[in-house]
Amino acid sequence: MNQPNTYSQPNRPEHGPLFSKLQLPAPKAQVIFWSLLVLGVGADLWSKNAVFKWLGTRNHNQFPVIKGFVTLVMRENSGAAFSLFTGWTSVLIAVSIIALCVVVALFLLGNIRHKIAHIALALFAAGIIGNLYDRIFNNGFVRDFIDVVYWPGKHWPAFNVADAMLCVAVGLLLIGN
């Protein structure tokens, strides 16, 4: 009587349908995403440091780039876009971490095949990381330095490179769909 040896191979769990169809993005998509993310974060953090250091040596802490239209300024924002949720640092950090996880998961697991979407997700991630870094390492403040006059006497809220990347990402997703 030969009985099957049930101990010869360890029990291996069956993967459900989710993992059996999982396809990570193509290598080219990975290069685009991760390169843009690193370059975007680098550009944001470098620009904040450079502008704040340079403006700190100038009278009035500002410099007109295009007189009457674009000025470099030194502003710190403890809120989100348009200074919403000012002072809610812990909540904004938590929301940023969750948003970053969602964006990276969408890229890695979302089975997205469009180059524009890969670029948009990379810009989202870079923008989130740039402002998250500031919130964590700048006493809850995000450094903004670009001031734009959109109508005589009317200023758009000051922003930074991370904010610009977030806006471009939204635009790309709207155009791409």
How does the average pLDDT of the chain come out, rounded?
89
- Residue 21, in any domain of the structure: no
The parent domain of residue 128 ranges over 33-176
- Amino acid making up residue 143: R
Is 163 considered catalytic here?
A: yes
Q: Is the pLDDT of residue 173 over 90?
A: yes
Catalytic-labelled residue, pool 44, 134, 147, 163: 163
| Contacts of 142 by beta carbon, 8 Å cutoff, 6+ apart | 76, 77, 78, 131, 134, 135, 160, 162
Q: What is the pLDDT of residue 110?
A: 87
How far apart CA 120 and CA 114 sit, in angstroms, is 10
Handedness of CA 96, 102, 107, 108 (dihedral sign): positive
Asked whether residue 147 is assigned to any structural domain, the reply reads yes
Nearest to 161 by CA among 34, 5, 47, 35: 47
Does 132 map to a domain? Answer: yes
Residue 40 in any domain: the answer is yes
Residue 13 lies in a domain: no
Is 155 domain-assigned?
yes
Residue 2 in domain? no
Output the pLDDT for position 99: 98
Question: Is the model's pLDDT at 11 over the cut of 70?
Answer: no
Length in residues, the chain: 177
**Residue 128 forms part of a structural domain:** yes
Q: What is the pLDDT of residues 14-34, one digit of tens each?
A: 555 555 567 889 999 999 999
24-71 tens-digit pLDDT: 899 999 999 999 999 999 999 999 999 999 999 988 899 999 999 999
Which position among 44, 134, 144, 147 bears the catalytic label? 144
3-state secondary structure of 56: coil
Count of structural domains within the chain: 1
pTM equals 0.84
